[in-house]
Structure 1
Amino acid sequence: MNLIYDRLVKRSTTFSICFALLLIAIKFVSWWITDSYSLLVSLFDSSMDFLASGLNFILIRYALKPPDDDHLFGHGKAESLAALAQSAFIIGSVIFLLFNSIKLVIHPTPVNYPIVGIIISSVSTVLTFALVSYQRHVIKLTGSNAIEADMLHYSADLLMNIAVIIALSLSWIGIVYADGVLALLIGGYIFFHAIKIMFVALQDLLDKALPESDNQKIYELAMSFSDIHGVHDIKTRRSGPITFVQLHIELDDNMPLVKAHAIADKLEKMVANQFSPAEVIVHQDPISVVANEKVGLQKFK
């Protein structure tokens, strides 16, 4: 396992937990003073962030464990489970908040001391932007799905803070229904955002193949060998940070086994370097066998 990956992902999850706790404290004080429902929605979201980040903290550390006798392919899927759990947390909380936002739109109430909420929400916005920027940096270096899910809901939190500032500003000038309307819009945005996170996590758990562009890269790497006459059955998937690749290469019938093995071994290393960290298996097929299989398939059709 890549040590840099481990260090960056662990550090990011630790920062997320500490940050969520800080935001909960800040937003609770702000909501207590202002009685703003938009701030309550934001506080509730930060509480869900804390629970999700805590779960992320545990599952990612499990996902980073090396393979053992019972899990020969490692524990990487725990990372996708963390992303799935986060989305479930978020969806459940947002449904509750949406119903209450609708009530507030129908029966708006004034906000107390909106300037206090504006100042505190501005501080939260700056802090959230700093965390999201760091997480984006970590994702660029690691490609972690769980950290991406974490970043997505903190990005939603960033937009929420901005929306809260707008709602409080409008309430300050007497537009009392703005608090409920903005809370409703924020909740709707987070809901659809969570659905997207859930879909991505499910795709990873179901072993979705890498993009076609990645398969093309694998094909081009294989065909860069003059002794390889064809490539077929490229299969790819991802489990946590590790990419798994299998492919068949077509070689001359009379090629010595030692040479065929050396070609396959070199290709495995090239593909692994391209998609690091990766586990690659290259199967060597005699070209005549491949041709006979194709003829057999045509007769069957």
Structure 2
Amino acid sequence: MLWSAAGHLAQPQTIPPVHSAALWMALVALAVKEGLFRYMLAAARRLNSSLLIANAWHARSDAASSLVVALGIIGNLAGFAWFDPLAALAVGLLIVRMGYRFAVSALHDLMDRAVDEEMQQEIADTLRTTPGVAGLHDLKTRKAGDLVLVDVHLEVAGEMSVAEGHQIARHARERVLAQHPVLNVMVHLDPCEAQGLTKEV
């Protein structure tokens, strides 16, 4: 596409005429793709699916491409023949840009990146508000596909029995799994009075 568009721009006499029906097709495609984008993005956010988010933005890129194509056709019909290959060149560059962004996002997921600060704070708040939890530290997260793996140290009263501490850790884990897109939670218990001694749960 980029090569062909560049060739037409270099030799304007090779640019073919465009029929007005092409404009209507581009406008219909624009409306359909924009509607699909909004629907898929809402579903992706509800399900917290990075795959659906990528598909939604693919639909948005199609909508943007249709808009650029429509502008190119309008210019061509108005007598500016070079608008058409210029629009094709813009669409080609848009596709390259979107492909690069998707590739970088996928690479980050493969490299087990941490979740964003907002989600990490939400997970921390869920853990911190669990009855019996006095505090937390060393909260670590990493992506596992569309889900998250969590590792955290919870602080509990030092005089608490092992059984009581285990119950608090289990409750905290269950709350995180129920309220967030988390695959697993590894909890370590630290007594508030002596954090140098850590019991792993």
Q: Under a length normalisation based on structure 2, what TM-score does the superposition of the two structures give?
A: 0.86
1:160: how far off?
Answer: 0.9
Using the alignment, how far apart are the partners of 2:126 and 2:79 within structure 1? 65
Pair 1:246 & 2:148 matched: no
The Cα of 1:254 is off from its aligned counterpart by 2.9
More helix by share: 1
Query: Is 2:139 aligned against 1:234?
Result: yes
Equivalent position of 2:164 in the other structure:
259
Pick aligned residue for 2:19 from 107, 110, 114: 114
One of 8, 14, 30 as aligned partner of 1:125: 30
The corresponding residue for 1:157 is: 62
What letter is aligned with 1:245?
V
Check the 8 A contact 1:250/1:287 in 2, yes or no: yes
- How far 1:148 moved relative to its partner? 1.4
Residue 224 of structure 1 is matched in structure 2 by 129
Tell me the equivalent position of 1:12.
none
Q: Which ranges of 4 or more aligned residues in structure 1 deviate by more than 6 Å?
A: none
Secondary structure in structure 2 of the residue aligned to 1:232: strand
Report if the CA contact (8 A) 1:204-1:238 is conserved: yes
Say if 2:2 and 2:89, in contact at 8 Å, map to a contact too.
yes
In the aligned structure 2, how far is the partner of 1:173 from the partner of 1:102?
A: 21
- Separation in 2 of the partners of 1:101 and 1:292? 68
2:116 maps to 211
- Tell me: CA distance 1:212–1:184, structure 2 relative to 1, closer, same or farther (3 Å): same
- CA-based RMSD of the aligned residues comes to 2.2
Counterpart in the other structure of 1:170: 75
- Provide the C-alpha distance between the structure 2 equivalents of 1:141 and 1:218, rounded to a whole number of angstroms: 17
* Distance in 2 of aligned mates of 1:276 and 1:102: 46
- Whichever residue aligns with residue 154 of structure 2, its letter is I
Equivalent-residue separation in structure 1 for 2:131 and 2:45 (angstroms): 34
User: How far is the alpha carbon of 1:259 from its aligned partner?
Assistant: 0.6
Count of aligned pairs between the two proteins: 197
Question: What TM-score does the superposition give when structure 1 sets the normalisation length?
Answer: 0.60
Partner of 2:175: 270
The Cα shift of 1:155 comes to 0.9
Q: In 2, Cα distance between the equivalents of 1:241 and 1:231?
A: 25
Tell me by how many angstroms 1:225 deviates: 4.6
Pair 1:100 & 2:15 matched: no
One-letter amino acid matched to 2:67 = I
Asked if structure 2 preserves the Cα contact closer than 8 Å seen for 1:163 and 1:182, the reply is yes
How far apart are 1:202 and its partner, in Å?
A: 0.8
Instruction: State the alpha-carbon separation in 1 of the partners of residues 101 and 81 from structure 2.
Output: 32
Q: Matches of 2:171 and 2:142 in 1, distance apart?
A: 21
Per-residue CA distance 1:156-199 (angstroms, 9 max, x = gap): 11111111111111111211111111111222122122211111
SS class of match (1:290): coil
8 Å Cα contact 2:41-2:56 kept in structure 1 = yes
Give the structure 1 partner of residue 94 of structure 2.
Answer: 189
Query: How far did residue 235 of structure 1 move?
Result: 1.5
CA–CA distance in structure 1, aligned partners of residues 190 and 140 of structure 2: 16
